[in-house]
Amino acid sequence: MGLCHHAKPQGCGLRTPLTSYLRIDHDSENNLIQDLITSVAAWLAGRDGWLGCSLTTQTFELSAPLPWYPGFVGPHWDRTGCIVLPRPPYLAIESVSCVDRAGAAVLMSPAVYSTNVGGEGLSRLSFGSGVPWLGSAADLASIVVRYQAGYGPRPEDVDHGHRCAMLMTIARLYANRGDGLTAEFREDRFVQSIFAPYRVWI
């Protein structure tokens, strides 16, 4: 049970603006710069990313336990019987399936579910009365939701504040390379402070 994503988060097209920001006019450190961009993007928007949201569009697959029943409280379910879709902003549902304990999956019709998008793009997936786990003896193990989340497919779709904070973080790592900060930047108070306004809590 849990969340997985099908591609690593992208660096929001920061390569060109970063070299300008750092005033780099040579190519000898291209690999280092790309590694820093990749590390920061993964820390922010990976499966367990610190930021709690997506940047450019990513595809996620969420597995939530079944059977659900009124009053059930479990991973990814809220008390109203909705599945909370992490890593907003939500974009679209690709598919919803029920999986039994033998691993066989049955695709659900879009007619029996809908999404409600709230603040910060956080979405809840709700179900109608025709779902197979209500009043059924089926030995169901989980419901699997495949969906897209992020600001959009293009780097420029990502919020400007996020991009500026990433530039500042990568510049700090670049300037302090070799002194241990690169390995420990996730705990750096300055780094956390500039991203704090954009952090999403679920």
pLDDT in tens, the chain (202 residues): 588 877 777 778 888 888 888 888 888 888 888 888 888 888 888 878 889 999 999 999 999 988 677 777 778 888 888 899 999 999 999 999 988 888 888 899 999 899 999 887 889 999 887 676 655 556 778 899 999 999 999 888 998 889 999 998 888 888 887 665 555 667 778 888 888 888 888 7
- Give the SS3 label for residue 186: helix
What DSSP designation does 118 have? Answer: -
pLDDT at 54: 92
| Confidence (pLDDT) at 144 | 94
Considering only CA atoms, which of 172, 189, 186 is closest in space to residue 50? 186
Q: What is the pTM of this model?
A: 0.83
Helix (H) or strand (E) holding 189: helix 189-195
Tell me, what's the pLDDT at 84?
92
**Residue written as token pair 């549902």:** 93
- Residue 91 C-alpha from the chain's centroid: 11
Residue 32: predicted pLDDT = 87
Longest Cα separation, the chain: 67
